[in-house]
Every structure is written in C-alpha cells, then in structure tokens.
Structure 1
Amino acid sequence: MSATTFAGVVASLALSATFLPAAPPAESPSLSGGVQARTSWAEPHECARAVARCDGTLAVPLDWSDPSSERVEVAFTWVPAAGRATGTVLANPGGPLPALPDLPRIQQVLGPALDHQNLLVVDPRGLGKSSPLLCPGLKLTEPDTIAACAARLGPRARFFTADQAAHDMDAVRRALGAGPVTFYGNSYGTAYAQAYAARHPEGLAGAFLDSTMVTSADGYALWPTRSRPDLLGLVCDRSRACRALPGDARRTYARLVARLRERPDPEAPLVALKGVESVSEPVFGREVNAAATAYLAGDPAPLRRLTRVLAGAPRQPVEGAEWAGYLAYRCGDGGFPFDRDAGPAERLDQLERYLRRERPLAPYTPADLGPDMRAGVEFCVNWPTPRRSPVLPPGTDLPDVPVMVVGGDFDTHTPAEVAAAMRVFPGATFVRVPFGGHSLAWGAGEAGACVRAALRSFVRDLRVPRTRCTAENYRAVGAFPRSLGEVAPVPATKRDGGLGVGRRRVLAAAFATAADAVARRNPYTFVHGRLKDQPGLRGGRVAYQDGAVALDEAVFVPGVAVTGTITLTPEGRATASLGVLAPGARDGRAHRVELTWEAFTADERPALTGAFDGTPFEIPALR
C-alpha cells in the first residue's frame, strides 16, 4: 500500500493520541520523580503508602482464568491527590498504544480535578513498559511481516487483549488499596473501560468516555473502514451559500470521484481526494463542496490546492517492533467482516465479498485507493484469533453508575451509533459535540476547553454537568469566483460610508481573500495548521508566523491582488491592513482597506468594521 493510501486508511481508524492536536497549555504542574516499586498481584503494593508519584510494576497471570499460568509484569504510575483524596481516576489515553508516555497530557487534561482525585495510569500488557510484545522487522504495510510476527509470538499473544488488561487494571487498583474508580477512557481507552465495567463492576464508581469505541453484536470492538460522504452533506446543510450550490453534496462528490476515475488528474489523485473527504479538518469542511462543484465546472484550482496540502502532511509511523502489541489488541479485540476462525486466504475472500456487496468505501472502490489495497485494507487478515475474547460479552449487565459519554459529529462512529451503543450502561448520558472530531478533551479551541471542563466537573462529583460544547466555528463557502464580476458586493447599509457598488464589490473580494488565508489557522485545524506558507489560490503567496498572516500579492479572485498583514489574536479576532489592486483602480493605485472581524464563527459572514480608502464602514453579520 502506498504511504498516502495507508495514511488515509489509518486516519479513519482513529489510532489515538498520536493523531491528536498538541496538548493544551499546562493548567497544573505535572509531578515527576517518586518511588520505584514492584510486587505480585496477590500482595499489597508498596506504592499504596506513597505520598508522591510512585512508579511500580505488578506481576500478574498471563491467563487470568488460570492463576498458575506464567507471570507478566504490568507497569503503572500512581499519583496521589494533591490534597485530601475523595476518589481515584483510572485513565487510559487510547491506541491501543502505551499509556504512560501520555501521563503529562492526562494530568493537564484533568487539571485541578487532581487536587482531590488520585490518578492511576497503567500501561496495558504487551505495550510500553508492560511486558511488551516485540517483532523486529514488523511493517503494517506488509502483510507478510504481520503473519511472521504472529508466528514469532506464538499462542501466548492471544492473552494480550482488553479482557485480560481489565483484570490487570483491577489487580493494580486492589494492590494499591484504592476504592472504586472513575474510569476516564479516551478513544481505545473506552474499550478498556467497557471491558472493565463488564468484569469488575464492583470496582467502578463512574466513567467518562470520550470518542467511544462501539462493539458489535457479539461484543467485539468495531474498526469501520468506510467512506463518510454523509458528512459533506451535514456541513453543507449548515451553510446558506453551500446549499445554493447545484445538486446534492453527496451526489456531486460521487460525480467528482467518477470523473477522476475516468480522467485521472495527477494533481488531484483519488487517494488524496479520500483524505480531503475528512471534514474534521476545518479547511476541508469549509471548501470541499465548493471545490468539487468548481472542478466539475472546469475550475480545478481549488480542489488541487486541497489535495496538494496532503502530500506534505505528517504521517503516522507504521513500522517497528513495538507495533506487535497494537496488533494483538486490534485483532484480538476487533470485530471484522470475516470469520475469526478462518485462515488468511478465506478471510481475505470474505473481506473482498463484503467490500463488493456492502460498498462501505463508496463512492470509491478498493482499486481507487491503491494497487495494494486488497492486502492492506485490514491488518488483521493475517493475525490468528483462536481465543474468544469479546470486549463486552453479550448479555452482560453493566453497573448502574454515572457514565458521561461525549462524541463529535466527525468522529469514527456517528453520534447516533455511539448513543445507541452506550445504552448498555443504565446510567449513561450522551452529549453530542457539533462539528467535533476525535479525542475531544484533548483538543484545542473552545470545544476542547469546554469538554475538559465537563470532564473535570464529572470526576469531581460524578454528576453530568449541564453543558453545551461545540466546535462549529465556520460555514462552508459556496463558490470560488472566476472574476470580480462574480463577487457579490457587501450589502449597502446606513453605516457603509456611502460606498458605491463597485467599491463594495472590491471590499467583498478583499475580505474573501483575507478570510481564505485566515481559515488556515482555525484552532481545530491539524494539517493546515502546520503550513508556514502557501501559494494564493490563483497567484501570489501567503505566509504564516506567530499569529500574523502576510499576503504578498495574494490572488483569490482573479484580477484582485492583495498585499498586507493580518494579525490574529488567540481569541480569533482578526485585524487586517491591506493594499488591494483591483480592475479599474485609479492610476493603477491600490485601494487601502482596513478590516476587523471575528475570524472563527458559525455566521454566514461575520460583522465587518474598518475603512475603505479612508472611508469608515460597518457591515452587520449575516447569520
């Protein structure tokens, strides 16, 4: 599988913290140092007496159904509450990957809640410092190395699954003398939380689940490999300008895929287009529908600009001995469209029949996404799963404890899917975050801060706070003008300074150019947020540095070149000082345009204030 193909597939699997935005600013000091201790699972642990951070290990049975089986060591960190402890948070950041490296970020996310909550973080067995499974030469892009890794590890690998890890976590809890815990699970951490609730209900006081893994009818974690063109419609339906585009968003996108299949464009390959479909990247959500419409109408520039950005985007490392532990969990815990008891060849045939019958990748086919898609669409085809180990055994009665579940519109599973699945918890409350992506409490912007506040409130008293968090801070654009004449003037108002229609049209073009540049600094962006500079849509350059955006003859509307600087505050207020050279400018002189607006809002057009060639104006928001 090509690297780009793999990046698109893996992104849809929500692999955990590695894909998340940078950690939020520290809001409480992280602890370091402390005691190093180890003991057996049947004995009280030395860390139980610690008054500061204690790093320890616990020897536990490989197979919890056979207490006499070989021992594996499980590593953990115990951080006593800064003040009087009223409870304990058991946290897992997801993956399935090592948990302990994310301890500082977990502390930052929980923040002041740790004043009165102990914190326990355990590296799941087989990962990180907990008896890691290792396979030198392992590459997730090469199925033969996966099969070789499974053969190398042998039958003991079947015990490195969430059901066994849940027993380990409870053994650590009991060895520390901790009472029932509040389980904070992020991403795959929610699978551990479900496995824990099913097997140790007496040890669970409550749970906060962020970006939840959904299980199948037989209790295995679902890893959906699917296209999500429905999200294009969700974003477009929220925008007046996008709704005015011809046709339906999903059908337009399907036509675009068909066009690129019939007439490949090396500057907009289908595999890159699959990445653009991910509207959790705000720039893609803002522009993909209009770019698709423009491409079909003979204007390829907007779409090519979007696909070009993906070529330089950072990618998840997909090789290394330590990925063996990830495979053990993913394959042992996972539910897939093939039989767990079948051999690799039969599994692959079953998978291909499923892809042909159900078309989960539509409007794409596997062939659209690369020549090796057949072998690489699902890693677990080549990993044996001889032991029954559902994350959530069917028919299990989960404890009636407070459970808060948060999920975003753009997450791996839809809010409706998560809300339905979490009814297995009698005390569950689901909270939808509009336009939210994956790992909400770890995110930036107001949505991240809002979800973190909800998490802290919940772990403090196990009450679901009344909160409405949203990441909906933009509206999809409706068109990419091909001339100044296609630009609608800003409306005439009593406070427009008496600007004529021509000047109001130039003002609208200048604002569109500035807004297009600033959109690349949306607080929820990931790929575009790493850009240092980018060509203007139709000419010139845009550069980014330290809260400033510099335009050098940037052309968004043909014939309108904009030069100047935009400053952007952390709160998202933009102020621009621009020279705008437009058709009809007197003596070829640039217009001077001063602009101020709120850059990231769900308004169709934000309120604008400023001056045009010295004439002040105020344009109200269009909602």
Structure 2
Amino acid sequence: MLRTTVTAVALFTGLLAVPPESPPPPPAPPAHPCAAAAQRCEGRIQVPLDWSDPGSERIEVAFAWVPRKGATSTVLANPGGPLPALPMLPTLERTVDRQNLLVVEPRGLGASSPLDCPGLDLGRPETITACAARLGPRSRFFTTDQAVADMDAVRRALGLSEVTFYGISYGTLFAQAYAARFPGSTAGVFLDSVVPVGRDGYAIEPVRARTDLLELTCRSSRDCAATWSALVRRLRDRPDPAISMPTLQGMLPRLYEPVFGRELNAAAAAYLRGDPLPLRRLAEAAAAAPVPPLRGPGFAGLLSYKCGDARFPFDRDAPAAERERQLERFYAKKRPMRPFTVAELGGSTGWADWCVHWPTPRDNPPVPPRADHPDVPTATVAGDYDTHRPDEVARYFPHGDLIRVAGGGHSTTLGTDCARRALRSFLARTGALPRSCDVSSYRALRSFPRTAEDLPDAGDLDRRVVAAFATAADALVRRDPGSGSYRRLTEEPGLRGGRLVFDDKAATIRLEEVRFVNDLTVSGQVVLNPDGTATARLTAGGAETVLSWPAFRPLDPVPVSGSFGGRPFTARIPV
C-alpha cells in the first residue's frame, strides 16, 4: 500500500534486531573555519583511512557548506553515482533552496583523495585487475561505511547537531547507511530513486533485462513481453543489420523517454507483421545516442564503491576465476537477461561482470545488519520507469512513505516539478505530501498504420485530416522535453519518406514531403506555442490543412480543431 503522510516510522525493513554494541564516539574534531561562514564556504578536513583504526593513514575529504539566512535546518545531500558530488552543487543549491545545505565529496572521488588508475577500461577485465593491484589493500576502505563516517565528521566540524539526509540514486545508499550508523544526528531522510539494501546490509544490484517496463505502455497486445520474446526469436533466426541485440535491449531502459514509451511496443508488433520501419527508426536513434565512455582513471573510485558495497551472484571472498565460474552458473540457471542471452548482449551485463575482477576482502555492509534505525520522518519517491519501480520500492519499505511518479524515470527531484515540490514540502515539514504525481506527456500508440485507411476511425473526418494529424503528432513527440535521444537531433528522415527539420530556437518543425503512411505526403510546419498548444499548417494530399491541439498531454482521443480545404472542423482523434 502506498502512503505519503510524513510520520515517524521505522526507516528500513528486515534489518531490525538486537542493536550491536556501539563503539565510543570519536573525539569531536576542531571547529572548521566554515562553521562561522555567512555564505558558501568550501573546505577540507583530515580523516582516518580506516575509521576503526584512529591511527591509520590520514586522507583528505572536501566539502561545501551553504548557510541560508533564517534557515532552521540543514540538508546533507548526495546526488548519487557514486560520482564526484561537488560539481553538482549548483543544481543542489537550486533544488534545496531554503535550508542550509551541506555536500560532502565522497572519499576516493573528485576532490576527496581520489583513486586513479591510468589505462582503466571497464571493457577490458585485465585493466580492472591491474587497477586493483596498483591501489593495493587501502582501496578496500573507499566504501560507503567509511564515507558516511567522513560525512558525520564534517557535520561535527561545522557544529551541526543534526541533518536531514537527501539522497538521489546511489546517494540513497549513503542516506540509509548514515541514518543507521548515526541515528542521533539524523533528523529525517528523503530518498529519490532508491538503491535497496538486503537483509545482510549490502546494496542490491539488479541483473535483469527490464522487459517488465513494457507493461507500462502496453496497448498493442495483452502480453507485450510475449511480443518482445517473439521479436527476439525472429531477430535471432533472421538477424537484421539495422537492429543489433544490444541496441534492442538498450531501448528498454529508454522507455521513460516519450518517443520510446509511445512507440516501442507498437513498433515491435509492426516488425512481426512485416513492417520493420518503425523499429528500425527507433534503433537508429538509440544506437546513435551518445554513451559516456566506460574508461578513465577516475573509474577506480566508482569500482571501489560499486563492487565493495553490493552483493553479486558470486562469493565476495572467492578468487576471480572462481567468481567467474559462479557468475556463469548464475547466468545459465537464472537467465536474468531473458529473452536475450548474455552472449547476445556482448558477454556482459554490467557491474556483475566488472566486479568479478575487483577484490572485496573486507566485510563492510553499508548498513549494519543488526543496527537499530532512527524513528524519524522519511519519504521515498520512485518513478514508474526507475531502476526499481514503485511497487518494488514498496516491498523494500512497507512501513515507509512512498510517492509514485507516474511516467517518471530516475532522479525525479532534479527534473520533475511535482517531485521537487514534494521534497521541499518534506524539508519544510509543511503539509501532507502527495500520494503520487503524474508527469506523463503521451499515450502509447496502438499500432503503426501503413495506409490512411489503417488509421483509427475519427467519425466523419476526412482520412487525409486524420493522416495529417498523425504525421504532425509523430513529428512533435520528437521535441518532447523528455525525449533526450531526439532533442539532440536537428533533422530526421520521415518514417516512410521525406524529411523532418527541427528548429528548437524557433520552436518549429518543418515537414518536407513526409510520409507517415505510404499513401499520403505531408509538407508544411508545426509550431509549439508558449501556451502549450501545437499548431500546424500543412499540405496533405494536395489539400490545405490547419490543425491545433494540446501538446505533450496524455490524451486519447486528442481534441483537434482547424480547417481542411477552407472548412472549419473540431474533432476528437484517437491515438
């Protein structure tokens, strides 16, 4: 059950029991000069490499302190990754705009004693092994259990009595670890895009293909997963050079983007019916989208956290060769990427394969398995298309407060107004939080028509008008603010011919003899207006057509008005 009233609840589940003996608190660090600052202050402190051994090597941790006039509370924020946090400070300042803000750079990253390995490439296992050997045993202390102790040391150096932890993505793991390890200084926790923690206290890194996301936009059949399985079998039997298996699987995580969410199921069904163009068009956009390189010296810090903080389908203390055998047995037995095989996806599923080569000899669960947890206000937001869907998050946090972001993806508080408002309301402790918010901007297509006669029926409306609207709507969705893969394009071929030219500065799309259906050519221009409507002046099948409709709204049918051949009309056109 989803609940959103902010109450004092047990923060995490399955991890209660007898609390362990607490070690004596470390001595209070000397007050940092930033403690007296009246404006943003960036500083550094020295901390032990191993917090269980005060005499261990000292390392340096960087932070930024942003005091706000009149603020009565402090937010300790981490934007996730785990990547350097300080470069995200301007974004976090805009998001947390009324409370004091503290951002601590996690050890091993960015400005905090970074771990670096020249030549590190996650696609080459031998460089991971070499990096681990280069860094030696000290790298085992660059993990979340140690990083949150650094964060608390900064809190104490600034003289702060307590903080509310706001974590995004991997930052939610820091938040859970901090709250469990430092309950006395935790005033509240807000989690955006949760990394769940298992009963053993380690993070859960899912290995799966995410075909479950297809169900969120499934309109073209009762069982889109079956359609997808049939598509994979078809491409396995008859490979299509335009659609590789990795590209096909890579479209699933993009379902939060309006173009892919709107079209992918219908495109898969069309392909199986002998119409490959819609799916090839999506595959071309997905394959061309820029992908950050998985190499660079700074990935050493990322490996240290991801491999040290999580459980994978192999033993943490096993040698690399045995880990590989255990992982292969897991793939063979569980087939987590079905309907794909791991070999079809290039032989790797990501972190599990990379972490095989990174030793994790220290027992360091981010959240102590026997820890008590603070009885403080908490809230969790989860997007439908997030790494963990709202129903999954609810299972991990059955006593917590959950806000579902319908149509949302990852890190919703950074890009979704309603999630950001919920965060601010939570931080200010003002009013009840919403049960959910909806950021959907489209309705999924039922099918891809080949001819004007295949289009959905719109009563007495001329089929050329319906085809003109379908063509214009197909062009406009590619400028939806959430369609990252398409917003970078300045032009694209029409589905079945012609060309689309995008001019975002002028908020226009030019259609040059575009064919969305085979038997009708459409030319003209679509304009996105400041009031949120779209207007189009088109020539469709030789007739002048003017259209106006609400843009980026999840409507079906869509209210459309305009004129055709000089005659005005109003209609409701199905998607």
Task: Compute the TM-score of the two structures, normalised by the length of structure 1.
Answer: 0.85
Residue aligning to 1:580: 540
- Per the alignment, residue 83 of structure 2 pairs with 97
- The SS at the match of 2:472 is helix
Is 1:460 matched up with 2:442?
Answer: no
Once residues 179 and 376 of structure 1 are traced to their aligned partners in structure 2, the CA distance between those partners, rounded to angstroms, is: 37
User: Secondary structure in 2 aligned to 1:402?
Assistant: strand
Residue 557 (1) aligns with residue 517 (2): yes
Question: For residue 417 of structure 1, what is the aligned residue in structure 2?
Answer: 392
Residues 462 and 182 (structure 1), Cα distance of their counterparts in 2 relative to 1, 3 Å cut:
farther
- Give me the whole-angstrom Cα distance separating, in 1, the residues matched to 2:128 and 2:435: 45
For 1:215 and 1:79, locate their aligned partners in 2 and report how far apart those are by CA, in whole Å.
30
Asked if 1:431 corresponds to 2:399, the answer is no
In the TM superposition, what whole-angstrom CA distance separates every residue of 1:119-147 from its partner, at most 9, and x where no partner exists? Answer: 10010000000000111111111111011
- Moved runs in structure 1, 4+ residues, more than 6 A? none
Task: Tell me the equivalent position of 2:224.
Answer: 249
Cα distance, 1:486 vs structure 2? 1.6
| Map of 1:522 onto structure 2 | 480
Q: Measure the CA separation in 1 of the matches of 2:574 and 2:42.
A: 56
Alignment partner of 1:184 out of 166, 169, 172? 166
Alignment partner of 1:313 out of 284, 289, 301: 289
* Pair 1:487-2:439 in alignment: no
Is the alpha carbon distance of 1:414 and 1:67 closer, same or farther for their aligned partners in structure 2, counting shifts above 3 Å? same
Residue of structure 2 equivalent to 1:478: 446
The answer to whether the 8 A contact 1:142-1:376 is kept is no
**Amino acid of the structure 1 residue aligned with 2:412:** L
**Are 1:542 and 2:500 counterparts?**
yes
Q: Deviations over 1:246-304 (max 9, x none)?
A: x5211011000011011110011111111222311221111111111111111111110
Aligned with 1:485: secondary structure? helix
Q: Secondary structure at the residue paired with 1:527?
A: helix
2:306 is aligned with 1:330: yes
Alpha-carbon offset, residue 356 of structure 1: 1.5
Unaligned runs of 5+ in 1: 1-39, 237-241, 493-498, 582-589
Once residues 266 and 437 of structure 1 are traced to their aligned partners in structure 2, the CA distance between those partners, rounded to angstroms, is 30
> What percentage of residue pairs aligned between the two structures are identical?
53
Cα shift at 1:70? 1.1
**CA positional deviation for 1:431:** 1.0
Q: CA deviation at 1:476?
A: 1.1
Judge conservation of contact 1:214–1:221 (CA < 8 Å) in 2: yes
CA contact (8 A) 2:406 2:436 kept: no
CA shift for structure 1 position 378: 2.2
Question: SS of 2:113's equivalent?
Answer: coil
Q: Deviations over 1:492-529 (max 9, x none)?
A: 3xxxxxx5xxxx21111111001111111222221122
**One-letter identity of the residue aligned with 1:606:** V
Assess if the C-alpha contact under 8 Å between 1:87 and 1:179 holds in 2. no
Q: CA deviation at 1:207?
A: 1.2
Q: Please report how far the alpha carbon of residue 477 of structure 1 lies from its aligned counterpart in structure 2 after TM superposition.
A: 0.7
Change (3 A) 1:144 1:119: same
Structure-2 change in CA distance of 1:571 and 1:228 (3 Å): farther
Aligned residues: 546
Specify which of 337, 359, 365 is matched with residue 384 of structure 1: 359
3-state SS of 2:115 partner: coil
The answer to whether residue 137 in structure 2 is matched with residue 155 in structure 1 is yes
1:417, 1:549 → 2: CA distance?
40
> What is the rounded CA distance, in whole Å, between the counterparts of 1:131 and 1:173 in structure 2?
19
How far does residue 420 in structure 1 lie from its aligned partner after superposition? 2.1
Which is further off, 263-272 or 412-421? Answer: 412-421
- Provide the rounded CA distance (Å) in 2 between the counterparts of 1:270 and 1:356: 18
Cα deviations by residue, 1:5-46 (Å, 9 ceiling, x for unpaired): xxxxxxxxxxxxxxxxxxxxxxxxxxxxxxxxxxx9721111
> Counterpart in 2 of 1:505?
463
Partner Cα distance (1:375, 1:577) in 2: 47
TM normalised by structure 2 equals 0.92
For residue 571 of structure 1, report the CA deviation from its aligned partner.
5.5
CA pair 375-516 structure 1, distance change in 2 beyond 3 A: closer
Q: Is the 8 A contact 1:402 1:462 kept in 2?
A: no
Q: State the Cα deviation string for residues 518-576 of structure 1 (Å, max 9, x = none).
A: 11122222112211111000000011112211111111011211111111135642111
Mapped partners of 1:524, 1:539: distance in 2: 25
Alignment correspondent of 1:441: 413
The yes-or-no answer on 1:143 pairing with 2:125 is: yes
Q: Is the 8 A contact 2:306 2:351 kept in 1?
A: no
CA contact (8 A) 2:207 2:349 kept: no
- Aligned residues of 2:466 and 2:573 also touching (Cα < 8 A): no
SS of the counterpart of 1:395? coil
1:79 counterpart residue number: 66
Residue 42 of structure 2 contacts residue 65 of structure 2 at CA under 8 Å; is this kept in 1? yes
For the 8 Å contact 2:312–2:352, the answer to whether it is kept is no
The residue identity in structure 2 corresponding to 1:310 is A
Deviation at 1:467, TM superposition (A): 5.4
For residues 412 and 336 of structure 1, what CA distance do their matches in structure 2 show?
17
Q: Determine the structure 2 residue equivalent to 1:287.
A: 263
- The aligned amino acid for 1:437 is G
Aligned to 1:584: none
Q: Does structure 1 conserve the Cα–Cα contact (< 8 Å) formed by 2:456 and 2:574?
A: no
- Relative distance call for 1:415 and 1:466 in structure 2 (3 A) is closer
Shift of 1:422: 2.7
**Given that residues 490 and 507 in structure 1 are in contact (C-alpha distance below 8 angstroms), is that contact kept between their aligned partners in structure 2?**
no
CA distance in 2, matches of 1:491, 1:608: 13
**Equivalent of 1:613, from 565, 568, 572?**
565
Shift of 1:578: 0.6
Amino acid at match of 2:137: P
Pair 1:460–1:228, CA change in 2 (3 A): same
Structure 2 letter corresponding to 1:619 = A
SS for the counterpart of 1:373 is: coil
Matches of 1:53 and 1:259 in 2, distance apart?
58
Question: 1:563–1:580: 8 Å Cα contact kept in structure 2?
Answer: yes
User: Which residue of the partner structure matches residue 12 of structure 1?
Assistant: none
* 1:47/1:56 contact within 8 Å kept: yes
Give the counterpart of 1:301 among 251, 255, 277: 277
Taking the aligned partners of 1:580 and 1:309, their CA distance within structure 2 comes to 27
Cα pair 2:81 2:170 within 8 Å, conserved: yes
Q: CA RMSD for the aligned pairs?
A: 1.7
Correspondence list, 1:16-55, <5 A:
42-55=29-42
How far did residue 471 of structure 1 move?
2.0
Alignment of 1:209-224 (within 5 A): 209-224=191-206
Question: How far apart in 2 are the matches of 1:252 and 1:331?
Answer: 35
Could you say what secondary structure the match of 1:438 adopts?
coil
Secondary structure, aligned partner of 2:337: coil
**Preserved contact between residue 458 and residue 573 of structure 2 (Cα < 8 Å):** no
Where do residues 59-74 of structure 1 align in structure 2 (5 Å cutoff)? 59-74=46-61
Pairwise CA distance, 1:55: 0.6
CA shift digits 1:563-605 (9 cap, x unpaired): 1111113564211111112xxxxxxxx1111111112222222
Equivalent of residue 262 in structure 1, options 231, 234, 237: 237
**Cα distance in 2 between the residues matched to 1:196 and 1:398:** 10
Amino acid in structure 1 at the alignment position of 2:300: A
CA shift at 1:462, angstroms? Answer: 6.8
Alpha-carbon shift at residue 487 of structure 1 (Å): 2.2
Letter in 2 for 1:527: S
Residue 246 of structure 2 corresponds to 271
Q: In the alignment, which residue of structure 2 is the partner of 1:107?
A: 93
TM-superposed CA distance for 1:463, in Å, is: 5.8
